[in-house]
Structure 1
């Protein structure tokens, strides 16, 4: 199939059609940037050919060299046979205008908190200039820490992760954005090692997949670190731990922001007296909650 394509297909249009056809035939799962075969295949081909990612049309009928065809077909074949998220093939992921290096050591960035940070958490943060200390729990690639650093230019940020492999990726991204003087990477389990530290803002996109869902995840998700996905029987183990100790790490007017996936009903049942504020995102108001320090359990 791929050998024949290498000799018979010639233009970018040919290869894009070929990729979309075989994506659909293989029933790939799309949840790491694009949500359909066409958009993902177009991105993968443009990236592989070092073309502008937002300008497909001018190049559709360009003829590819033999080496270019081989390179394109190689990544398409890997995407299909290995079920790798496309971000692991291109070693990049985007949150809005922010680009991050990623590989199999970290989960692919896709947090709804990023879009809230780009709005400086308005209206919940009155003056972004008064945010001087931020904690990012389960930082992974440091994507949210980096977006937070841009949203709150007066802030220093502690970015924590249990995985030294993830922190190696985070270190690369922090260096790429020249934020080493503002973002401190900390290896540890949530608040461990942060005794006495107080923050104006704590953000967290922790693991939140429950055990039954872990057993049925698409193959693409299973290529990500399990440590970054699984969180106990009901998906709330990490969220409970974050809530339990957040109060002692927030300043008097501090704010906690946590993403929890599809676990709103379970969380509200587990903390029936806690007045969660659910924040609007492009996906709805079910996935990210906010609590003021005074409202924390």
Structure 2
């Protein structure tokens, strides 16, 4: 009896064939999509094209091209990891996209997917005060995608990428080098603001761990590949966010701005700190749980924290 691999290679020939087969395997194994693609079709296309070293925007005419035996084996291996190991596609390919930019990723860092990208594209208007931005902090940086995107959006700024995880910062440094930003983007290791003692910033942006215990227990298998340190944050998901709120005031410039994503823990934060004047951002492209607060408002309400 022929092996499954041999049978697949005998009956599938073109990129289009392999995309169809990949799509069927996704449905057969009921994989979860939440790490870069919203639909099975988009992810099947991305998986197959990446496996044969073609970009995502390849001319559709290429879909009728045949695969070499080695390419067929690589597609099949990618599908095996995705369906049987439940490994998110960016960990298989080693690359994720954020704000239209590619970033290197592996299982040392969270896969970029923050809706904060929308705010960066808008220059954080209308919340960030007008004028040049001198210093930016990306707190809990992971891969460095938020801070690096900020550095590209504000070319006059110096940016610190802070994280408690040395492993994560190794990935962040690879991405700093990828964008040739070594002269104004710096990786800093430490527990929150301990990584940048005494520093003050015009803008602090953070996508900290914020998943509460109930959500963490119910997450699809794919999330088990991401570092636990980057996901959970206490029973209501807000342990780290509360620390950020307490400590950020002393690290913001007088007219500085704090931007934090807390996802579904937005409900817990609203109920636990109802008098704190957080502005919840309405996101045009979906997502939730991103708030902004000025340095002035944060300091004026420090007694609540």
2:56 to 53, 58, 63: 53
Paired position in structure 1 for 2:33 = 30
Tell me the TM-score normalized by structure 2.
Answer: 0.94
Deviation >6 Å, runs of 4+: none
Paired position in structure 2 for 1:243 = 245
> Is 1:274 matched up with 2:276?
yes
SS of the residue 1:192 aligns to: helix
Paired position in structure 2 for 1:118 = 121
Query: How much does 1:22 deviate?
Result: 0.8
Paired position in structure 2 for 1:188 = 190
Tell me the TM-score normalized by structure 1.
Answer: 0.96
2:16 to 10, 13, 18: 13
Query: How much does 1:104 deviate?
Result: 0.7
Query: How much does 1:284 deviate?
Result: 4.5
Whole-angstrom distance in 1 between the partners of 2:116 and 2:290: 7
- Give the paired residue count: 296
Identify which range, 213-222 or 49-58, moves more after superposition: 49-58
Unaligned 5+ runs, structure 2? none
Query: How much does 1:2 deviate?
Result: 3.8
Query: How much does 1:143 deviate?
Result: 0.4
Correspondence 1:129-208 to 2 at 5 A? 129-208=131-210
Query: How much does 1:283 deviate?
Result: 4.7
Instruction: Say if 1:6 and 1:73, in contact at 8 Å, map to a contact too.
Output: no
Whole-angstrom distance in 2 between the partners of 1:244 and 1:76: 45
| TM-align CA RMSD | 1.3
Whole-angstrom distance in 2 between the partners of 1:37 and 1:56: 20
Whole-angstrom distance in 1 between the partners of 2:293 and 2:44: 40
